[in-house]
Amino acid sequence: MGGIQAAGEKAYEMGYRTKIYGQLESDAVDAAEEMASQIGENLMTYSDNKPICMVFGGEVTVNVRGEGKGGRCQQLAIEYLLIDKPAETYALCASTDGMDGNTDAAGAYVDELVDKDDAEVFALNNNAYEFFAKNDALMKTGLTGTNINDVYIILIPSSELEGQLQALASKSSCI
């Protein structure tokens, strides 16, 4: 079973309406825009207030403009943070091997506690690692011995299951 299928099944078990998408293989900026565009589509499709989990796979590319620290998953997460979205969401972007770029993190997550201040400066310098480190939003799993793909998860919460949002975003078992 692939990483995106495993993540989708775990989300379904946790009570999320789950939608699995194909591979994102574009630039991190374009991939973040694609992920955000799917939020509105899901909100229009499902009106029952059940939480939604959108799962993507792939390996995005990064246009290196700066000399910062990070990897493609962290760059995707910071680009996603910077995009306007039609609803409150949570996001996790992580590599299944446990190492994203030149860092000790598998990736990063975005929630309501991540402060957007200066995010654009960090993104432009490809310094997503330091941005998410200062926000305590890095996902560190250690090396997993698996390398099946990167997994990108977007959660659209509902009032019934809000307590489970952090659990899905912080557990490496879904990767």
> Does 28 score more than 50 pLDDT?
yes
Q: Does 134 map to a domain?
A: yes
Number of folded domains in the chain? 1
Q: How does pLDDT run across 120-135, given as a tens digit for each residue?
A: 999 999 999 999 999 9
- pLDDT at residue 175, as a whole number: 47
Q: Does 79 map to a domain?
A: yes
> Does 164 score more than 60 pLDDT?
no
Q: Which domain holds residue 11?
A: 3-165
- pLDDT at residue 46, as a whole number: 78
What is the DSSP track for 52-87? EEEEEEE--B----S-----HHHHHHHHHHHS--SS
Q: How does pLDDT run across 58-97, given as a tens digit for each residue?
A: 999 899 988 999 999 999 999 999 998 888 899 999 999 9
**Global confidence as pTM:** 0.87
Q: Does 28 map to a domain?
A: yes
For residues 102 and 162, the model is more confident at 102
> Does 102 score more than 60 pLDDT?
yes
Q: Does 175 map to a domain?
A: no
If you average pLDDT over every residue of the chain, what do you get? Answer: 87
- pLDDT at residue 44, as a whole number: 79
Give the residue-averaged pLDDT of 144-167: 73
The CATH number of the domain where 152 resides is what?
Answer: 3.40.1480.10
Q: Does 173 map to a domain?
A: no
* 141 vs 34: CA distance, rounded Å: 27
Q: Does 92 map to a domain?
A: yes
Question: 156 — phi, psi (to 5°)?
Answer: -110, 110
Q: Does 7 map to a domain?
A: yes
- pLDDT at residue 168, as a whole number: 46
What is the DSSP track for the chain? --HHHHHHHHHHHTT-EEEEEEEE-SBHHHHHHHHHHHHHHHHHH--S---EEEEEEE--B----S-----HHHHHHHHHHHS--SS--EEEEEETTS--TTSS-SEEEE-TTS--TTHHHHHHTT-HHHHHHHTT-EE-----S--S-EEEEEEE--GGGGGGHHHHHH-GGG-
Q: Does 174 map to a domain?
A: no
Lowest mean pLDDT segment, chosen from 9-13, 40-44, 100-104 = 40-44
